[in-house]
Every structure is written in C-alpha cells, then in structure tokens.
Structure 1
Amino acid sequence: MADKKSGAGETVVIKKYANRRLYNTATSAYVTLEDLARMVREGAEFVVYDAKTNDDLTRQILTQIIFEEESRGEALLPVQFLRQLIGFYGGQMQGVLPSYLEMSLDSFARQQEQMRGQFSKAFGAAPGAGLLDEAVKRNMALFADAMKMWPGFNAAAAARPAAAPPEQPAADPLAEMRRQMDEMRTQLDKLAQPPGKGG
C-alpha cells in the first residue's frame, strides 16, 4: 500500500485496467497521465491500484509520468544523474538512497518556500504586487512629470501654475519628488526665455 498522507483532502484511488486506462474513483471518470501530473502539481494525493489484482502501481505510474515529461522535452533530470541512479540499483546503497533523495528534495522544497517568503516580504504579498506595483506607479508619475517639461508634452502643465507645489505632506517622498520636478520645470522655463526679456 502507498503512503496515504492526510491534509488537503483524502487520498484519491485510481484504478488501472487491463486496457491501460486509468479510472479516477473520486470523479468517476477516466484520466490520463497528464491529468495525474496536474494532480501532483496541485498537491492532490492519489494511489494507483491494478483493477484486477489490487497491486499497488503508484510508483510505476509516477515513474511513467516522469518518463512522459522527459520525453516531451521537459528535461529535468541530467543524464549523469540518471546514470548514477541506475548504478545504485542492486547495490549496497539501494536501501538508503530513497530516504536520502526524499530528504534532499524536501530540503530543496523548504528552501524554495523560504525564498518565496523573502520575496513576498521584499515586494509585497505576492510577486508583482505591493512594493513593486508602488514602484511602478512612482516611476510612471515621475516619467509623466518629466514629459510635461518638454515642448509638445506640457499641455497639462500649462493648465496649472508652474511654480505651485502640490498640496501633499512634505513627508511623502513622492510629493517631495514632484516638488523638485516643479522647481526644475520653473528653472527650465526661465532658461528657455529669449535673452533681453525680463523675468
């Protein structure tokens, strides 16, 4: 019997028939290896039994999924690793290797989760959100302000007094940048005036 892990839900039983078809007893529908691969990625637990003998075929089916992924061009396992793995079959280390590989992959998965957590802390609740979105908004605002300083782009700037700073708290870094941009715009306007004209 394969290990049944409790957690997100019950372990789904898949029956394999003589015609090689796989039947999901939870959904009462036939499934493919691709469907099972998707279930693995989604964290769903399943076991595969031979419909006639009730033998546990989970390991063979998971190996078959890996074979399908590798042959499709989704190569994940280096050739040297596969050679070494084959070399361990029948050797003294065969009994120890499965536990070692499981520990190594668990450790890798934990490190990946830690990296995701650190990324979330640095850039907000999810990648591409929070701080990153705020940085994009600030950059767009600065870019828009910069464009208003040049002829052809300053129609919006002409609608308001050039030297009037925005009515925002000085503690806001964005407000401070806008104030500095307004000062630069005023200085550029003065420099752009023809010589001999007052102002």
Structure 2
Amino acid sequence: MTDAKTPLLIKRYASRRLYNTETSDYVTLEDISGFISDGRDVKIVDLKSGDDLTRQYLLQIVAERESKGESVLPVAVLTDLVRSYTSQASSVVPQFLAMSFDMLRDSQSKVVDNMAKANPIAQMPGMDAFRAQQEAFFKAMTGGQWSATPEAKPSEPAVEPSESKEDLDAIKTQLAELQEKLGKLSK
C-alpha cells in the first residue's frame, strides 16, 4: 500500500515512454490525468538526467483537454496568463492562482457542510440524492480534488410514528416541487 501523500513517481525514458514506478508498467498522459483526477499527485522525471518534467506534462494535459473542447480556462484568463510571463506580474500570478483554487475548494466544502447542517431542507427525503449530485458537480469542477468531509453526510432523518399520512403526502408534494425546480435549473 502506498502513501497517497507521496507523489506517484513516473519516469520518462529516452524513447519518451512514461513508466509508472509503482505498478511497473507504461502509462499514457490520459492515465496520468486519471491519477490526478483520483486525487493523486504525480512527479514525472527524466530517467537519464533526473530533470523534473512534471510541469511540462501537466501543461500538455491541460492543452490537450482544452483543444478537445473541454474548455475550463476562458480566453481572457489564457491571455492574462500569457501577459504575466512578459510582465512584472509573473511573480504574483502563481501565488494568486494557488490561493484562488484553495479558496474554491474551501468554499465548496462549506456549501456541502452547510447543506448537511440540521435544517428542515437537509432532512427532507431526496436531499441525499441532491447532495450526491452537488458533490459530483464539485468534484468535476475541481478535477477530482474535492470530496465531502465525513461530517458533511447527515444521518437518515428519524420518522416519528405520530406522523400522519397527510404529513407524508405533503412532504412528497414538496419534494416533487423541489425536484421540478431543480430540473428547470439544470437545463
């Protein structure tokens, strides 16, 4: 069992083939992208020189995804990135980007955490499915780097024996209305 905090070491051979040192097999850029999406950090080094090639390959993965229509970076952001290489801003940009992504992950965790707090909406039937959908959305937006904290998953609401059939019907009606509204929002 490997430590998930330790980056997965990938070695690049002279033939430009990439070798996964943990599984002793060759991998592709798509495989490396999958490792990263699963939350694993990678380190890619040249076998002969020992040079760290991680940045080069990560940029290549981003470029390939962008060229395939998986546009995450707006043109204005790409333009500003290019400008930052030719201006004094280049020293601030990496820190700004890192802080921005940290804030995004933190705010996404807070949204799910707030959804799980004891409130009537979080206790409604069907909210677990909604919460799972939101978690999948956040995970997709962060490339798999985000996951809900264990305390963000509420326990099943207790149904009191004194609840009448009318109360349950009212809850079902409210749930149907919420699902209809969510359906309209997702279109």
TM exceeding 0.5: yes
In structure 1, stretches of 5+ residues that fail to align are 1-6, 135-167, 181-199
Q: Does 1:175 align with 2:165?
A: yes
SS in 1 for 2:131: coil
| Sequence identity (%) | 40
Deviations 1:48-95 (A, max 9, x none): 001111100011111011011111111101011101110110311111
Q: How does 1:1-199 map to 2 (within 5 A)?
A: 8-121=4-117, 122=122, 123-124=127-128, 127=131, 169=161, 171-172=162-163, 174-177=164-167
TM-score, reference length from structure 2: 0.64
Q: Distance in 2 between matches of 1:35 and 1:79?
A: 27
SS in 2 for 1:53: coil
C-alpha contact (below 8 Å) 1:120/1:126 kept by paired residues: no
Per the TM alignment, residue 41 of structure 1 is displaced from its structure 2 partner at its CA by 1.2
Per the TM alignment, residue 9 of structure 1 is displaced from its structure 2 partner at its CA by 3.7
Per the TM alignment, residue 17 of structure 1 is displaced from its structure 2 partner at its CA by 1.8
Structure number with larger C-alpha Rg: 1
The 1:128/1:65 distance shift into structure 2, 3 A limit, reads closer
Q: Distance in 2 between matches of 1:179 and 1:34?
A: 49
C-alpha contact (below 8 Å) 1:11/1:47 kept by paired residues: yes
Per the TM alignment, residue 106 of structure 1 is displaced from its structure 2 partner at its CA by 0.6
Q: Distance in 2 between matches of 1:45 and 1:60?
A: 15
TM-score, reference length from structure 1: 0.60
- Number of equivalent positions: 139
> 1 or 2 for the larger relative contact order (CA 8 Å, sep ≥6)?
2
Q: Which residue of structure 2 aligns with residue 159 of structure 1?
A: none
The 1:114/1:19 distance shift into structure 2, 3 A limit, reads same
Q: Provide the alpha-carbon RMSD of the alignment.
A: 3.1
114-123 or 42-51: bigger deviation: 114-123
The 1:97/1:9 distance shift into structure 2, 3 A limit, reads closer
In structure 2, stretches of 5+ residues that fail to align are 134-152, 171-187
